[in-house]
Amino acid sequence: MTGIIDGISLLGDLILPRLSSLKNKKKSNTVEIKFQSDDKYHLDSVLKKKYSSTVPFTYGECNIDQELKFPTCVPEIPKFMQQIMEPPSGIFLPGFDIHGYEKRIKKKPFINFIPHIFSRKVSPLRFPKQIPKKQQLLNPNKLKQRKSNEISLISFSKLKLKAKQRIILLQRINKFKYVEVLILRNCTINSVTGLSLPGLRICDLSSNKIKKIKPTIMFLKNSPLLEILDLRENPINSKKILKSLILANKPRLTLLNGIEIETDERIKAIEQHGSEELISQIGKIRWDLTLSSISEIRSMPGWYPQNLVNLILPNLKLTEFHVGTFRSLQFLDLSSNQIEHLKGTGLERCSKLLDLNLANNKIINIKQVLNVIPFCSSLQRFSIIENENLQDYRLSVIYTCRFLKGTNRQPGLSIFDEKPVTMNEYLLALEKIGNESKETISVMRWELSQINQFGNYQIRKIPDFLKKVTVANFSNLKIEFLTLQKYKNLTVLNLCNNNIKKIQGLNNLKNLKIVDLSRNPFLEIEPVYEQLSKLHNLISVSFATDLEIDEGGVIVLDEIEPYQKKEKLSIYNKDYRIEVISYLFLNNPDLQVLDSELISFFERVDGLIQASNVKTHHHKNKSKNNIILTEEYIEKYRFNLALELTINKTNIKKFHPSKININKDYAIKNITKLTKLSNLGLKNLGINLHNFINLQEINLSNNNITDMFALGLENLKNLKILDLSFNNINNGIKEIANWIDERNSLEILCLRGNICLNSDESRKNLIGYIKSMHEVKSRLRVLDTEITITERVVSWKSIGATDEQCNELRFKATIHTRLTREELSNLEKIKVLDLSNAELEQIDLTQFKNLKRLLLRNNNFRSLSNIEGLLQLDKLEVLDLRDNKLPDPDSIASLLKKLPLLTSFGINNNVFNKEYIEELDTDNNSNSNNINSDNDHNNLYKKKHKKKINKNWRQNFLNKLDKLMDTKCLLRQLDSKDITLEELFLVLKDNLSDKEYKKLNKEQFKFEITINRRLPFNKRKSKFKNIDLSYCELTTIDISPYVNLVKLSLRGNLITDKTFSVNYFKWLKNLEGLDFRDNKIKKMQTFSQIIDNLPKLKYLYIIQNPCYSQEKPSNRLKLFSLSEKIMLPGSNLTHLNGNLLNLHEICLAIASLQNKKKYANISQKCDNSK
């Protein structure tokens, strides 16, 4: 329910609760009002008022270097370089004798090896199913009829032959010299003596009676092409030596008795039963068998070794290999074999071999390796690791292979024994094994570095390649010597972390933008400065010997001992940075970064200062543009650079004196703020703001300014804020005051920390001399700290102003400060006026005719007569006079009688108060110091008027307000507390006779006070539709005037059967909802009367009364039986205590009073009605 003033509270601790509960059972719902000026004329909204009368105005810390951004200099790699395909292998280094090298390779011996499967021109092996029928002979009776050249397959089985028949059969078969397949299975053959078939490939003699080994071996020797032999189920198989003898004489047999023959088994048979000649060729035979077992080789239509590219043959017990004809071989893995030497293997002729793995073999002589491997011209990866007796050979191999083509980025081997071959190892091999001089090694390191960076092919084969290079990275290479004459178009050069002593050719790199020479501890820096000073496009340079950058590009400061930090080229040496800038900046206008740090504002200026010192510096005081570095020129540059960094909001800024032109580059007439010009060492000699005609804010604090009148401020007609604090200004106080009076727009001026304003007295004198301070509409609000009205008044009074003039100034200045421009233009429309904490003594409110809230807390009013026009404020609802010096409570009480709409009033802590309110709202006190200061005055007053002071001043004061006896009186709050009913009854008792007080209907008075506080006073009673009188401890409720109520809550009161009157409800014909819970009704008939007299009642709550303590069927039945309206059709009541009424319980109520026949009739009527 809304209160009289719509639930709005006072500023401070005058709070109007939403519900003025007598027992505070419900918290008040309040809204705090904050009186603030929203006038755009002032700058509080812009500056967020970071100042006060005690806190000086400041822009805060500002670092102009924060405006600097790292330049986005990403060099583009020329398109032609991006289009160059990287070659798979390198080329020989310049000066290498290729012709002599190739001659030596041709003299190297090798074996023209051909696998046995390709040694003769034979057709591929054919199995029986693959041979056409016309070439097959399956009937022994046709041996005479068929021609020998027509038959490729002879197959007989299950022949029972006698001795002569067997001899004749073999003789006839022997005539078929071209037969490829012979099958004589289960033919009672006991010997193959005399059988010779040179073209035989497959022979099946199983299930016969062959016993003798020698004829069998002879038959095999006479069948050189035999690959598959089956002698199973012959007596000869019982002889264990048979298999070894067969394999020793037929080492290339692939299948014996249906089982594939392993290479090791063949070799063992040769070792045991082979001839001396065969035994001497075991290594070659194993190599032959190994190659012949490879399916890809076997599937070749012929022997084409040039087609072999990759050969992976590890762990096969090879003792030798022959690859001299494998001209296309690129990858050869022979690791984990038993190879002892490389001579005669033909490796030298494998001109395309890139990767050779001979690890874990039995090579014992490194000289053999060194005589072969250097002639594998394309070899890049080589391994002989884990060969038994090879030790300390790494550098020797690297050195011997130094002239190999290698990769395009590295000559020689790139990986040896599974470890990369570094440039340092390559050069170490030259030094240790080749005994090369340090000068030769330095030159070679530079050559290798270039190859590594750009590629040997690109450098040697592409015309003028190095001239076209724009980016070169030679970092971390230990370079000592280098020449840059060929790099004509370099833009980026990285030489960090090397051992460079001298460098030549830098001055020829006309396009160079970024150069990094950091971490070169032996570098002679002065010649480098001289060369770079002749360039004109440098953006970033690095020379520091202790600069470290991690992989992410973040600067890491080395953990260097203190004495090391004093080194010349140290990032900790500020003098070194200034020296670099002094050398390079004048001729390189875009120089922005030194040692990965942006060059700061002060470093640039200090660099120019050092460059101007002819006696101690290398330069003359002129640059290539003939700039004369005078003090005036440098100071103007300091100021212009500050403007450039402040005004230019882009990432592309200008830094060079010759390039910065503020007047031409920027529309300075549109610039309104220069707030980052503090702490820059600016002097009058360089500052000129003459052309910034629309400037409104300037921050020149913490500089070296001596004369504030020599800054070019005379044209700045719109200047509002000027911060000159902490300079060396020594202008006179009167001259400054006159200057301020000429600036009609100036609102904030900061001069603290200057010679001219070095004491509180000088501030007071300055304010006194400023004529505009005596005017109400003074624009100047801040002189370092906020200029209070008191300061203005005191300063004016000190030079002769009268009290009347001072009071008028204080009041009008306060009004001007507290109100917006719109409010000042029409004072009659103002409804809220906050003049608290203004030290006012006398005011005139006659123009504020429509005020509703007037806050005058914590001023110096000694009489109500000092507040002119107060009695005419007949619309006033809130008045706060706390913390003043008012001595007479009677005059105040008389005032309140004349303010009929006043609802809240504050009077605490005035002279007539004996003590403060015990529960003072300290959070809302405007100024505790002012309250304490008034305490002395109160104590003095109490000593003089001890008898007149009542201990309970609040009640004593309320007793003087006889208007409170009227229940329609709107005043309901005094100071921070509601005026309670107990206090009102004491007022009645004090102002009425005993007889009148006894006759007073206190409950009715209580009800009227309560309902009037709950409801808006300016609304007709017939207009209310909802009223909430919950928890008000009411016993009497005369609600009859509110005839249009729809909802009414009386929950939690003290209404009894005696105090309740049904007549109060008869007029509420529109009431639909009634909450009567938690009262003192003992008779159920009381509620039945309510139901019967409210025709539109739908919702009724009566639980938690003595007669209806709980919601149970018996209570509902009893109520229904007492109400005629409920039992008759047409009743609007649908819910009782939140539960829906049902027909059954109504009929039960009727049946409890009527006979069954009547119950049935009524039930039928009710059913029809429902």
DSSP state of 35: -
Element (H, E) at 957: helix 953-959
When pLDDT is averaged across residues 1118-1146 and rounded to a whole number, the result is 85
Write out 445-508 in H/E/C secondary structure: HHHHHHHHHHCHHHHHHCCCHHHHCCEEECCCCCCCCCECCCCCCCCEEECCCCCCCCCECHHH
When pLDDT is averaged across residues 654-674 and rounded to a whole number, the result is 89
Instruction: Yes or no: say if 409 and 451 are a contact pair by the CB < 8 Å rule.
Output: yes
122, pLDDT greater than 90: no
Two structure tokens written together for 1040: 């009859």
1168, pLDDT greater than 70: no
Mean predicted lDDT score pLDDT of the chain: 84
904-955: pLDDT as tens digits? 999 999 987 744 333 333 333 433 333 333 444 444 444 444 434 445 888 8
Which backbone phi and psi does 1158 adopt, to 5 degrees?
-65, -35
Instruction: Yes or no: say if 817 and 834 are a contact pair by the CB < 8 Å rule.
Output: no
Instruction: Yes or no: say if 282 and 301 are a contact pair by the CB < 8 Å rule.
Output: no
Closest by Cα among 933, 930, 1011 to 968: 1011
Which backbone phi and psi does 424 adopt, to 5 degrees?
-65, -40
- Please report, as a single letter, which amino acid is at residue 521: P
400-424: pLDDT as tens digits? 999 999 999 999 999 999 999 999 9
Write out 374-388 in H/E/C secondary structure: HHCCCCCEEECCCCC
Which residues are CB-contacts of 987 (< 8 A; sequence separation ≥ 6)?
Answer: 958, 959, 961, 962, 964, 965
pLDDT of residue 35: 29
Which backbone phi and psi does 367 adopt, to 5 degrees?
-65, -35
Instruction: Yes or no: say if 889 and 957 are a contact pair by the CB < 8 Å rule.
Output: yes
- The maximal CA–CA distance of the chain, rounded, in angstroms, is 171
When pLDDT is averaged across residues 200-221 and rounded to a whole number, the result is 90
296-310: pLDDT as tens digits? 888 888 888 999 999
- Please report, as a single letter, which amino acid is at residue 1162: I
DSSP string, 387-414: -TT--S-HHHHHHHTTTS--BTTBSS-S
Two structure tokens written together for 593: 């970064």
Closest by Cα among 219, 208, 204 to 249: 219
**Triad 1014, 1016, 1018: Cα angle to 5°:** 150
Closest by Cα among 833, 869, 831 to 851: 831
When pLDDT is averaged across residues 485-511 and rounded to a whole number, the result is 92
DSSP string, 1026-1084: EEE-TTS--S----TT-TT-SEEE-TT---BTTT--GGGTTT-TT--EEE--SSB---H
Where does the pLDDT of residue 1154 fall: very low under 50, low under 70, confident under 90, or very high at 90 and above?
low
Cα 400 from Cα 430, distance rounded (Å): 10
pLDDT of residue 5: 26
Cα 974 from Cα 701, distance rounded (Å): 50
Half-sphere exposure of 590 (CA within 13 A, CB side): 16
762, pLDDT greater than 70: yes
pTM assigned to the model: 0.62
pLDDT of residue 599: 94
Parallel/antiparallel/unpaired status of strands 492-494 and 471-473: parallel
Element (H, E) at 766: helix 760-769
- The Cβ of residue 35 has, within 10 Å, a number of other Cβ atoms equal to 14
Two structure tokens written together for 1028: 């909430």
Q: Is 406 left (phi over 0), alpha (psi -120 to 50) or beta?
A: left
DSSP string, 843-860: EE-TT-TT-SEEE--SS-
Element (H, E) at 841: none
pLDDT of residue 72: 77
Cα 798 from Cα 517, distance rounded (Å): 70
Instruction: Yes or no: say if 689 and 672 are a contact pair by the CB < 8 Å rule.
Output: no
3-state SS assignment for residue 922: helix
When pLDDT is averaged across residues 90-103 and rounded to a whole number, the result is 89
pLDDT of residue 31: 28
pLDDT of residue 946: 40
pLDDT of residue 565: 39
pLDDT of residue 20: 31
Parallel/antiparallel/unpaired status of strands 415-416 and 419-420: antiparallel
pLDDT of residue 772: 87
Token pair 């600097």: residue: 68
Two structure tokens written together for 915: 């003590």
Q: Domains along the chain? A: 1-39+820-1002 (3.80.10), 116-292 (3.80.10.10), 308-324+334-461 (3.80.10), 1020-1169 (3.80.10.10)
Cα 783 from Cα 780, distance rounded (Å): 8
Q: Is 478 left (phi over 0), alpha (psi -120 to 50) or beta?
A: left
240-287: pLDDT as tens digits? 888 888 888 887 788 899 888 888 888 888 888 878 888 888 889 889
In sign, the C-alpha dihedral spanning 306, 307, 313, 317 is negative
Instruction: Yes or no: say if 126 and 199 are a contact pair by the CB < 8 Å rule.
Output: no
DSSP state of 500: -
Instruction: Yes or no: say if 4 and 914 are a contact pair by the CB < 8 Å rule.
Output: no
> Which of the residue ranges 13-22, 79-88, 877-886 has the most confident prediction, judged by mean pLDDT?
877-886
Instruction: Yes or no: say if 349 and 324 are a contact pair by the CB < 8 Å rule.
Output: yes
Closest by Cα among 1161, 1126, 1130 to 1146: 1126
1165, pLDDT greater than 70: no
Which residues are CB-contacts of 486 (< 8 A; sequence separation ≥ 6)?
Answer: 466, 467
pLDDT of residue 243: 85
Cα 539 from Cα 1113, distance rounded (Å): 95
Instruction: Yes or no: say if 270 and 247 are a contact pair by the CB < 8 Å rule.
Output: yes
546, pLDDT greater than 90: no
Q: Give residue 223's Cα distance to chain centre.
A: 83
Token pair 């068929």: residue: 146
pLDDT of residue 549: 57
In sign, the C-alpha dihedral spanning 757, 763, 765, 768 is positive
DSSP string, 739-760: HHHT-TT--EEE-TTSGGG-SH
Where does the pLDDT of residue 567 fall: very low under 50, low under 70, confident under 90, or very high at 90 and above?
low
Cα 881 from Cα 859, distance rounded (Å): 8
Calculate what percentage of the chain has a pLDDT beyond 90. 47
Where does the pLDDT of residue 1163 fall: very low under 50, low under 70, confident under 90, or very high at 90 and above?
low
pLDDT of residue 353: 94
Two structure tokens written together for 780: 């100047």
Two structure tokens written together for 507: 């001055």
Cα 788 from Cα 1096, distance rounded (Å): 66
Q: Is 960 left (phi over 0), alpha (psi -120 to 50) or beta?
A: alpha
Closest by Cα among 567, 569, 644, 657 to 612: 657
Two structure tokens written together for 979: 């005026």
pLDDT of residue 550: 53
Which residues are CB-contacts of 551 (< 8 A; sequence separation ≥ 6)?
Answer: none
Instruction: Yes or no: say if 178 and 137 are a contact pair by the CB < 8 Å rule.
Output: no
pLDDT of residue 1161: 52
Query: Residue 554 to residues 28, 547, 658, 865: CA-CA distances in angstroms?
Result: 60, 11, 33, 75
Which backbone phi and psi does 100 adopt, to 5 degrees?
-65, -35
Parallel/antiparallel/unpaired status of strands 973-974 and 904-906: parallel
DSSP state of 80: H
Which residues are CB-contacts of 765 (< 8 A; sequence separation ≥ 6)?
Answer: 733, 795
Which residues are CB-contacts of 391 (< 8 A; sequence separation ≥ 6)?
Answer: none
Cα 365 from Cα 370, distance rounded (Å): 9
Cα 58 from Cα 60, distance rounded (Å): 5
